[in-house]
Amino acid sequence: MLSAGASRPPAAEYRSAQTFGSSSAAGIIADSWKSQLAHWAVSASLGAALRDLDRVWEERNHPGQGAVQPQAYLQARAFLASLLPWAPHPDISADAEGEPSFEWDFGPDRWLVASIAADGSISYAANRGMERQRGTTVFTGSLPETIASLLADLQRG
């Protein structure tokens, strides 16, 4: 599992990367740092989201209504990994059927909610200003186009 703490760059190293001179070598090194920082940011976001998902699992890891289904949990992990390279970190919980659920806000009247079932089916509803959209799609290991498109539109504002 990815760890945000282990891969976060120390503040001093980050500052030194910003103060290289203007030579091409320095530029290459700075670009390399930027790339590395972007990678760390993604890892940290994914790590944080997976820890949130684990907490949802642990709080409900018991028989009865609301318990997260193991297969749904695994689907949710893969779903998060597929979207977090570029999408913001959602608030994660679980519904009464034990399906991990995700909620994003992008401003007034701009939001997306979704939940994923054990078989990979994703139910979602979104609002883009005056435009509402909802439906069902399927996660088969890569981010469904519908969800990707919605998140991209919502992030654009």
Partner 1 sequence: MDEARPAYELGPADVVARFLHHNDEIRANGRVHFSSLMPDRSGERSVAHINGLDEAAIWSLGSNTLSPPQWARVTGRADIPVEAVIRVRLRAIRDDLGFVRHAKIAGWPEGADDKSAQQELARALAQAATAVRA
User: Which residues make up the interface to partner 1 (CB under 8 A)?
Assistant: 52, 55-56, 59-60, 62, 64-66, 91-97, 101, 103, 105, 111, 113-115, 123-125, 132, 134-136
Cβ distance to partner 1 smaller for residue 17 or 151 = 151
The least distance separating partner 1 from the CB of residue 30, rounded to whole angstroms, comes to 33
Cβ distance to partner 1 smaller for residue 31 or 109 = 109
Answer for the pair 112, 100: CB distance below 8 angstroms, yes or no: no
- Pairwise CA distance, residues 93 & 24, whole Å: 48
Cβ distance to partner 1 smaller for residue 85 or 88 = 88
The least distance separating partner 1 from the CB of residue 138, rounded to whole angstroms, comes to 13
- Pairwise CA distance, residues 52 & 74, whole Å: 14
Amino acid identity, residue 88? P
- Pairwise CA distance, residues 71 & 74, whole Å: 5
